[in-house]
Amino acid sequence: MDSNVRILVADDDAEDRLILIDSFTEVGFTGVLDCVENGIEAISYLRDAAAANALPSIIVLDLNMPRLNGTETLRQIKSHSDFNVIPVVIFSTSVNEIEKEECLRLGATSYMTKPSTQDESLDTARYFCEFAEKVAAKN
């Protein structure tokens, strides 16, 4: 795995973040995995990362978060010239098709339902790692 890859995870659920962190570790991710708890923290992180020339390769974004939900966070990400090209993967428990279509319309690269088993969590972490590595290789 490429140690230059950086992934931002925005999710208010501490258990979901821990499962992701453990899954990334288990699949051998050696890059940087940064986690924030809500959309406001995600936007602040991205502004700081842009100033430091250390933007993430991809953003993994939950929808149901306090302070600034995932849809509004996505809207702000895609309207900001410093980081609107970063691929955003919506990662949610919601299977609502209208919500999914709205996120894709707003510029999300893909929409994934959160896994319910450990094997699915590992597969998800592998997908995020491979996707982030492909994006990083293009930049």
Q: What is the pLDDT of residues 53-64, one digit of tens each?
A: 999 999 999 999
The pTM (predicted TM-score) of the whole model is 0.94
Biggest CA–CA distance in the chain, Å, is: 38
pLDDT score of 138? 84
pLDDT score of 89? 97
Q: What is the pLDDT of residues 96-121, one digit of tens each?
A: 899 999 999 999 999 999 999 999 99
Q: What is the pLDDT of residues 31-41, one digit of tens each?
A: 999 999 999 99
Boundaries of every domain in the chain: 6-138
Q: Report the CATH fold assignment for 6-138.
A: Rossmann fold (3.40.50)
Percent of the chain with pLDDT over 90: 90
Separation CA 106–CA 14 (nearest Å)? 26
Asked whether residue 1 carries a pLDDT value surpassing 70, the answer given is no
